């Protein structure tokens, strides 16, 4: 098959990467000692990171083809293969997942004291599912992993979460399921329309009829938009984030949200270009609305976690804005910003989690004057706040710059509104910073605040390094994306006016399928 490069490393790197956490989880089932479980979880996540490094060393940045591909026949009756691979768009997410997973393990070391076995098993299964999503080249496999993320997350929120955890967990699952079910319908239709295959690359090659593209786009949009989350179906996010334990919030904000955007890049753009072009302006408007609405609501928050949660709505609005500008700068900026947001928001949730561990309060009014009581923490928090603001020299600035230049090329007014979003972003972050770090010391909680220990410091240091490194040398990441994004844009622009070649056949096959369904009933 063309378009892929088979894996030629010594070992099936992507499969190992994806399933190593699962293996660790299986071992943990049989363990009893809590401390051993923690160390094994840490070891597994670190091993996953190490195993993933050869991917980056051997990645060919000059081609857009899928690399490190592994194919195994799975369910031949329905043309389902186990097929995994990465290209410039998906490769960076693997290391993001790996790094954040390690940090989730270390931050939960002391925070989680009940049902530790189940916690780390859930976390590891989660990691497997997430990596699986980014490397799957078969839609069936993709959907499997997509759904697999729901259960561990549900458990993470529902068991180890805050006061309102059951409500938040159920809400999370229901929202996700609603979207996924619609996507499932879309997948099945796609299967038939694309020639009875679930293979991603083959499906991308097909030029679907215009109307079908629109419906399929909307079907997939349902799932992706809920995940991002896009306005107005974002309401699960604040609840899920505030009630989840720190590790859950970090994974949720750091990775889960990106799955929706990745879905757009992997599915909607190559397969439904006509729909994307038709819905160009509404999608941009929706993105900008998310940016400004999210930022506005963030301003009012009194709960720190909710504040960062709503700011995620705003930041993901930026990401979608970048993606939907449909030009090189915007899309690269969007992908880069996904990584950046994962790092920065993950870091902010880690910081808040550390504070919560001490005072068990998420309310901003319970904090103040941390610059005096916890200076080391202040240094970290300052760096992450400045990064979130988009200060030049840190990672988010480049992403914002690229997205806004892409937006200018797409639509001037939208770009102007997005700049307003940046101003609001600066406002709420600086205000939060002031109230927590600079203000007068809050006498109520003062006794409980003590500075970071070495474990917590070690958790935050890698993120600081990443922030600064990417800020100064964004090319480290951008170089992976160039060719793949170019290719994506080609696919978009080529298939502008789809022929109705397959229209009759696809309609017939769908009709047959529905008839068969009715006969059976």
Partner 1 sequence: MISEIFNIQFFHPSIFYILGGLLIPVLRGKVKQGYMLTVSVLAFISVINMPLGNYGVYEFLSWKLTFGEVDKLSKVFAYIFTIMGIIGVIYSIHVKRDGEHFAAFYYVGGSLGVIFAGDFLSLFLFWEMMAFSSVFLVWFRKSPSSVDSGFRYLLWHVAGGLILLAGIILQYSVSGDLSIQYLPFHGWWPTDLQSLASYLIIIGFIVNAAVPPLGAWLPDAYPAATVTGAVFMSAFTTKTAVYALIRVSAGSEMLIILGVIMAIYGVVYAVLENDARRLLAYHIISQVGYMVAGVGLGTQMAINGVVAHAFCHILYKSLLFMGTGSVLYVTGTAKLTKLGGLYKTMPRTMIYTIIGGLSISAFPLFSGFVSKSITVAAFGEAHLTWAFLALMLASAGTFLHTGLKIPYFIWFGKDQGIKAKEPPWNMELAMVICSLFCIGLGIFYKPLYALLPYPLHFEPYTAYHTWETLQVLLFTQLGFFLLLKKLWCKDTISVDTDWFPRKGVKVFMRFTKPLANLEYKFIGEIYEYIIQKPIMGVAKIFKTIDTVIVDGAFNGLGQLTLALSRKMQKTQSGQIQHYAMLMVAGFIALVIFVMVLS
Question: Can you give the binding site for partner 1, defined by CB under 8 A?
Answer: 171, 174-175, 178, 232, 235-236, 293, 296-297, 299-300, 386, 391-393, 398, 401, 404-405, 408-409, 415-416, 419, 422-423, 426-427, 430-431, 434, 438, 474-475, 478
Smallest distance from partner 1 to CB 375, Å: 9
- Whichever of 268 and 411 has its CB closer to partner 1, that residue is 411
Smallest distance from partner 1 to CB 389, Å: 8
Q: Are 9 and 70 in contact (CB under 8 A)?
A: no
Distance of alpha carbon 44 from its chain centroid, rounded? 21
Smallest distance from partner 1 to CB 276, Å: 22
Residues 6 or more apart whose CB falls under 8 angstroms from that of 426 comprise: 389, 390
- Whichever of 422 and 452 has its CB closer to partner 1, that residue is 422
Nearest C-alpha neighbor of 136 from the set 225, 47, 74, 219 = 74
- Whichever of 198 and 310 has its CB closer to partner 1, that residue is 310
Smallest distance from partner 1 to CB 486, Å: 14
- Whichever of 479 and 500 has its CB closer to partner 1, that residue is 479
Q: 205 vs 50, 136, 199, 463, 492, CA distance in Å?
A: 35, 17, 10, 39, 11
Residue 57 exposed, middle or buried by CB count within 10 Å (0-12, 13-18, 19+): exposed
Residues 6 or more apart whose CB falls under 8 angstroms from that of 360 comprise: none
- Whichever of 65 and 234 has its CB closer to partner 1, that residue is 234
Cis peptide before 232 (omega within 30 of 0): yes
- Whichever of 422 and 488 has its CB closer to partner 1, that residue is 422
For the chain, how long is the longest CA-to-CA vector? 74
Residues 6 or more apart whose CB falls under 8 angstroms from that of 399 comprise: 318, 322, 333, 334, 336, 337, 340
Smallest distance from partner 1 to CB 91, Å: 19
Smallest distance from partner 1 to CB 225, Å: 14
- Whichever of 16 and 438 has its CB closer to partner 1, that residue is 438
Smallest distance from partner 1 to CB 166, Å: 13
- Whichever of 150 and 438 has its CB closer to partner 1, that residue is 438
Q: Are 287 and 226 in contact (CB under 8 A)?
A: no
Smallest distance from partner 1 to CB 412, Å: 9
- Whichever of 213 and 329 has its CB closer to partner 1, that residue is 329
Q: 170 vs 165, 173, 175, 236, 247, CA distance in Å?
A: 8, 5, 9, 10, 18
Q: Are 388 and 421 in contact (CB under 8 A)?
A: no
- The string of DSSP letters for 361-420 reads --BGGG---HHHH-HHHHHHHHHHHHHHHT-TTSHHHHHHHHHHHHHHHH-HHHHHHHHH
């Amino acid at each position: 098959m063309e378009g892929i490069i088979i894996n030629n490393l010594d070992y099936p790197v992507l499969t190992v990467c994806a399933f190593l956490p699962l293996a660790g989880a299986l071992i943990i089932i049989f363990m009893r000692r809590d401390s051993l479980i923690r160390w094994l979880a840490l070891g597994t996540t670190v091993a996953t990171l190490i195993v993933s490094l050869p991917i980056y060393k051997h990645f060919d940045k000059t081609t857009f083809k899928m690399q490190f591909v592994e194919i195994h026949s799975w369910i031949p009756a329905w043309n389902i293969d186990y097929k995994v691979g990465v290209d410039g768009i998906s490769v960076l997410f693997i290391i993001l997942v790996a790094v954040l997973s390690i940090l989730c393990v270390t931050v939960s070391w002391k925070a989680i004291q009940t049902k530790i076995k189940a916690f780390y098993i859930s976390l590891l299964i989660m990691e497997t599912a997430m990596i699986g999503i980014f490397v799957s080249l078969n839609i069936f496999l993709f959907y499997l992993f997509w759904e697999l993320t729901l259960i561990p997350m549900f458990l993470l929120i529902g068991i180890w979460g805050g006061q309102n955890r059951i409500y938040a967990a159920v809400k999370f699952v229901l929202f996700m399921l609603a979207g996924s079910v619609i996507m499932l319908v879309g997948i099945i239709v796609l299967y038939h329309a694309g020639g009875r295959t679930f293979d991603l690359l083959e499906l991308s090659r097909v030029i679907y009829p215009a109307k079908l593209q629109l419906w399929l786009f909307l079907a997939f949009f349902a799932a992706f938009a809920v995940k991002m989350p896009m306005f107005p179906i974002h309401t699960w996010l604040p609840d899920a984030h505030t009630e989840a334990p720190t590790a859950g919030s970090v994974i949720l904000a750091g990775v889960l949200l990106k799955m929706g955007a990745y879905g757009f890049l992997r599915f909607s753009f190559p397969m439904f270009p006509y729909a994307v072009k038709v819905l160009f302006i509404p999608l941009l408007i929706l993105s900008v609305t998310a940016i400004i609405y999210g930022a506005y609501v963030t301003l009012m928050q009194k709960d720190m976690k909710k504040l960062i949660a709503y700011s995620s709505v705003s930041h993901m609005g930026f990401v979608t804005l970048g993606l939907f500008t449909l030009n090189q700068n915007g899309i690269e900026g969007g992908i880069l910003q996904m990584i950046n947001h994962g790092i920065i928001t993950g870091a902010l949730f880690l910081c808040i989690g550390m504070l919560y561990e001490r005072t068990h309060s998420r309310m901003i009014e319970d904090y103040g004057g941390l610059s005096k009581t916890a200076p080391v923490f202040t240094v970290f928090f300052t760096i992450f706040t400045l990064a979130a603001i988009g200060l030049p020299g840190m990672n988010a600035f480049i992403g914002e710059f690229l997205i806004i230049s892409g937006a200018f090329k797409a639509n001037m007014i939208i770009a102007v509104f997005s700049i307003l979003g940046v101003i609001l972003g600066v406002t709420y972050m600086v205000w939060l910073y002031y109230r927590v770090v600079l203000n007068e010391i809050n006498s109520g909680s003062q006794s409980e605040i003590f500075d970071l220990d070495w474990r917590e410091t070690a958790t935050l240091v890698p993120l600081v390094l990443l922030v600064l490194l990417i800020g100064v040398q964004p090319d480290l990441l951008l170089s992976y994306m160039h060719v793949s994004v170019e290719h994506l844009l080609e696919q978009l622009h080529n298939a502008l006016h789809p022929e109705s070649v397959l229209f009759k056949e696809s309609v017939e096959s769908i009709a047959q399928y529905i008839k068969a369904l009715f006969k059976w009933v």
